[in-house]
Structure 1
Amino acid sequence: MVVRRRVRMVVLPLGLWTLSALVVGYFVWQAESGNRGLEAKKALKIRAYGLNQELAAVRAERATWEHRVALLKSDQIDRDLLEERARIVLGRVHANDVVIITP
């Protein structure tokens, strides 16, 4: 009887400590490598940085195109830009132009 009581006094706390350590270990593991853990956060930050770089490049390209369109739409049309677009659309070249064909 005394032996059972001593075993119970040792095994029960040991089992509870083991169970609590396993639960805490599981939550620590999930915090590190789970779907919303630290590794996922790092991957999302890297992806967000790349997307911000791409967004900046697209905004710069859009500003360039808006400027070119504004030159074509204004009261005073830029003749050089109009001539360039007309040559590209019509596929014509001037007799004095030098044409370089690249593969």
Structure 2
Amino acid sequence: MLARLRPYAPTAALAFLIFYFGFHAFTGERGILSTHQRDEALAAKTRELALLQAERRDLEARAHLLRDTSLSADLLEERARSLLGFSDPKDYVIRLKR
């Protein structure tokens, strides 16, 4: 019986490989059916990137105001009060945990 099926073994192996790779092309991690998940992940990462870029621009602007060439008295006073823990008696201080 095995001798009769031996000529079809390469064809069966090739058919199995075609089925295997075709199945994973559709349902695999990077398959055709998972494009929706990749699009959602890309949108989430794009939003995160936009937030990080805005935060970086803000930090760069604040760092620029603290340089010797363009020292901002208000920002310097804010940083000194924050680091030293001082406040004006008329100020309302609300401390938040980071």
Common topology (TM > 0.5): yes
Give the gaps of 5 or more residues in structure 1.
1-18
1:81 aligns with 2:75: yes
Q: How far off its partner does 1:100 sit?
A: 4.4
Give the gaps of 5 or more residues in structure 2.
1-11
Q: Percent identity?
A: 35
Number of residue pairs aligned between Structure 1 and Structure 2: 86
Among residues 25, 35, 38, which one is paired with 1:31 in the alignment? Answer: 25
Instruction: Give TM-score scaled by structure 1 length.
Output: 0.64
For the pair shown, the structure with the greater C-alpha radius of gyration is 1
- Describe the SS at the equivalent of 1:73: coil
Match of 1:64 in 2: 58
Kindly report which structure 2 residues correspond to 1:4-19, keeping only aligned pairs within 5 A, or say none. none
The whole-number CA distance in structure 2 between the counterparts of 1:27 and 1:97 is 68
Match of 1:15 in 2: none
The whole-number CA distance in structure 2 between the counterparts of 1:30 and 1:83 is 61
Runs of 4+ residues deviating >4 angstroms: 19-28, 100-103
Name which of structure 1's ranges 92-101 and 45-54 shifts more when overlaid on structure 2: 92-101
The whole-number CA distance in structure 2 between the counterparts of 1:49 and 1:79 is 40
The whole-number CA distance in structure 2 between the counterparts of 1:56 and 1:89 is 29
Give the direction of change, closer, same or farther, for the CA distance of 1:63–1:43 in structure 2 (3 Å limit): same
Q: Give the RMSD, CA atoms, in angstroms.
A: 2.9
| Structure with a larger share of its residues in helix | 1
Kindly report which structure 2 residues correspond to 1:83-102, keeping only aligned pairs within 5 A, or say none. 83-100=77-94
The whole-number CA distance in structure 2 between the counterparts of 1:76 and 1:23 is 68
The whole-number CA distance in structure 1 between the counterparts of 2:57 and 2:95 is 30
The whole-number CA distance in structure 2 between the counterparts of 1:42 and 1:101 is 42
